[in-house]
C-alpha cells in the first residue's frame, strides 16, 4: 500500500469517527421538570398524615435539593418535557398553566470548558390580541428571560411565578 492510499485511509477513518461526534454536538437535549410548590397552613398540617414536607415520589431526584433550598412544605409533580434544541435555533416546550419555555442554545467560539450557553425565556400566555373576534393571535408576556452558562449535564432551578395553589418551579437540565 503506497503513502497516498494510507493517507486516504486515515482521512476516511477520521471522518467516520468524527461524524457522529459532530452531529451529537449540534444539538442540546433539554429536559424540564415542572413542580408546584406550596405551603400548607400549620392548622391544616396537623390534620395531615405527617408534618414533614410532602414531596411527590416522582420528584425523588430533586427532593433533597428542594427541601434544602426552599421552605415550602408541599411539592407536587406537574410534568416532565424534553426537547432537542439546535445551536443557533429556538425550541419551545409547552408547560402547565399556560406557560411555555423557549430555549435557544448558543455556540461559543473557542469554548474551552464543557458548558452550554443558552438563552432561556419563560413565557405566559395572556390571551389573544383581538379577543372576541375569532381572528386573534395568541399573545404572551415574558415572565423571565435569562442567559445562562450551564455545565454540560447540569441543572438550574427557575421559579417564582404564581400558579393555582402555589408557585411554579422548573428544574432545567441540559446535555450536549
Among 33, 41, 28, CA closest to 116: 28
User: How far apart are alpha carbons 47 and 79 in whole angstroms?
Assistant: 28
Question: How far apart are CB 24 and other proteins at their closest, in Å?
Answer: 21
Residue closer to other proteins, measured from CB, 18 or 92? 92
Longest dimension (CA), the chain: 86
In sequence order, which residues have a C-beta less than 8 Å from that of residue 139 and are 6 or more positions away? 125, 126, 127, 128, 129
Decide if residue 95 touches other proteins (CB under 8 A). no
Least gap, CB of 2 to other proteins (angstroms): 46
**Is residue 63 close enough to count as binding other proteins by CB under 8 A?**
no
By beta-carbon proximity to other proteins, the closer residue of 81 and 139 is 139
| Residues present in the chain in total | 176
Q: Measured between alpha carbons, how far is 45 from 105 in angstroms, rounded to an integer?
A: 43
Which residue, 58 or 74, is less far from other proteins as judged by CB? 74
Asked if 73 touches other proteins (CB under 8 A), the answer is yes
Is 75 a binding residue for other proteins by CB under 8 A? The answer is no
Q: How far is CA 2 from the centre of its chain?
A: 53
d(CA 153, CA 47): 41
29 binds other proteins (CB under 8 A): no
Nearest in space to 155 (alpha carbons), one of 26, 31, 66: 31
Among 29, 63, 76, 157, binds other proteins (CB under 8 A): 157
Does residue 37 belong to the site contacting other proteins (CB under 8 A)?
yes
Among 29, 63, 76, 148, binds other proteins (CB under 8 A): 148
Among 25, 65, 86, 130, which residue sits at the site for other proteins (rule: CB under 8 A)? 65
Amino acid at each position: 500500500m503506497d503513502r497516498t492510499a494510507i493517507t486516504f485511509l486515515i482521512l476516511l477513518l477520521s471522518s467516520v469517527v468524527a461524524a457522529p461526534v459532530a452531529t451529537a454536538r449540534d444539538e442540546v437535549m433539554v429536559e424540564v421538570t415542572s413542580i408546584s410548590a406550596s405551603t400548607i397552613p400549620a392548622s391544616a398540617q396537623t390534620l395531615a398524615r405527617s408534618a414533614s414536607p410532602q414531596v411527590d415520589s416522582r420528584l425523588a431526584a430533586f427532593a433533597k435539593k428542594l427541601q434544602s433550598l426552599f421552605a415550602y412544605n408541599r411539592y407536587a409533580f406537574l410534568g416532565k418535557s424534553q426537547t432537542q434544541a439546535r445551536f443557533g435555533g429556538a425550541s419551545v416546550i409547552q408547560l402547565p398553566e399556560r406557560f411555555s419555555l423557549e430555549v435557544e442554545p448558543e455556540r461559543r467560539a473557542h469554548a474551552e470548558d464543557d458548558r452550554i450557553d443558552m438563552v432561556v425565556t419563560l413565557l405566559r400566555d395572556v390571551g389573544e390580541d383581538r379577543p372576541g373576534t375569532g381572528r386573534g393571535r395568541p399573545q404572551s408576556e415574558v415572565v423571565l428571560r435569562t442567559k445562562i452558562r450551564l455545565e454540560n449535564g447540569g441543572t438550574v432551578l427557575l421559579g417564582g411565578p404564581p400558579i393555582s395553589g402555589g408557585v411554579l418551579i422548573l428544574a432545567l437540565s441540559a446535555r450536549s
